[in-house]
Amino acid sequence: MEKYIKYCKVPKDMELIFMEQATSDDEVLAKAKDADFIFADAIKEVSKKLISNMPNLKLIHSEGVAFNKIDIETAKKLNVYVCNNRGANAGAVAEQTILLMLGLLRNVLDGDRKVRIGKQIETKERMMLEGVVELADCTVGLIGFGAIAKETAKRLNSFGCKLYYYSRRKASDEIEKEYNVEYKNLDELASECDIISLHVPVTAETTNMIDEKFLAKMKKTAFLINTARGEIVDGEALKNALIKGELGGAGLDTLSPEPVKLDNPLLDIKEELKYKILFSPHIGGTTEGAFRRMHQGVWENISRVSAGEKPINVVNGV
């Protein structure tokens, strides 16, 4: 975005071409076929066609952490670096994760609505009788244990939560001690946690990993939090679990596909169930501080490649 250029070291002789996210490959090639670098929104597809027809291309850089929309194999074959901004928005996304947890525990959507229609005291009395659970009394499971999960763990430790995690690779004893976490396999995590929070990238392995079978293993009172990517959750399975009362609720910063349309199954849910889902518009990592750090990271990598050096956070093995 143009507003963050002032924080970055942009070479004065570099020509910048700005395009909308919806710009087609043909339009990009018509305007910028000879470009050396692509600076892409994390949800913008960078296709084989585009990469193959830009002869000067040296680097494709995701603005954020995700890179699943970039054809990394084609880029690798053509010796084009693909990089992301790993960790740059970790604190921001962790804050959003905590927000969704607290919002569900305190039922903020329904509470706000009831106050606005003059039913404050009735709602207070009902919630007192039903019981409001504190975050401190929750066992939280983190699926994935990268930068965002670690920042989330830091914040949850401040609340006093019991923390478990699952990752393909178990962390060292030192890391587990530092973040006060304990390793569990996925089945244990699903069955033992009051809140499960997703922090994995989109891969063939993680796509729809939160499916009917996984949700059936969760506590009926448990909450699912997704500030990673919508593709990780089977939306129909989640909707059905909520309808059947097999899950306490869900806090979702991301849905699939994006942009989200009104025909998304999780938007088409009965009135009495809609407050079991707390949505946010994929803003977890979009704070000003995160954008500033991400844009600085992109331009630092562009400078490295321009100087004949290897960039950092390469994700395609070049």
Rounded mean pLDDT of 216-229?
97
Rounded mean pLDDT of 132-137?
98
pLDDT at position 301? 96
Residue 295 designated active-site:
no
Residue 258 designated active-site:
yes
pLDDT-derived band at 1 (thresholds 50, 70, 90) equals low
Q: Which pTM value belongs to this model?
A: 0.87
Q: Residues 61, 86, 282, 295: which is the catalytic one?
A: 282
Structural domains of the chain, ranges and CATH numbers in brackets: 2-88+287-306 (3.40.50.720), 90-279 (3.40.50.720)
Does pLDDT of 2 surpass 90?
no
- Percentage of residues in the chain with pLDDT exceeding 90? 88
- Percentage of residues in the chain with pLDDT exceeding 70? 100
Q: Residues 95, 246, 258, 304: which is the catalytic one?
A: 258
Does pLDDT of 97 surpass 70?
yes
Residue 282 designated active-site:
yes
Q: Residues 61, 86, 199, 229: which is the catalytic one?
A: 229
Does pLDDT of 128 surpass 80?
yes
Q: To the nearest whole number, what is the mean pLDDT of the chain?
A: 95
Q: How far, CA to CA in Å, does 43 sit from each of 65, 76, 132, 230? A: 10, 20, 37, 11
> pLDDT tens digit string along 6-54?
888 888 888 999 998 889 999 999 999 999 999 999 888 999 999 999 9
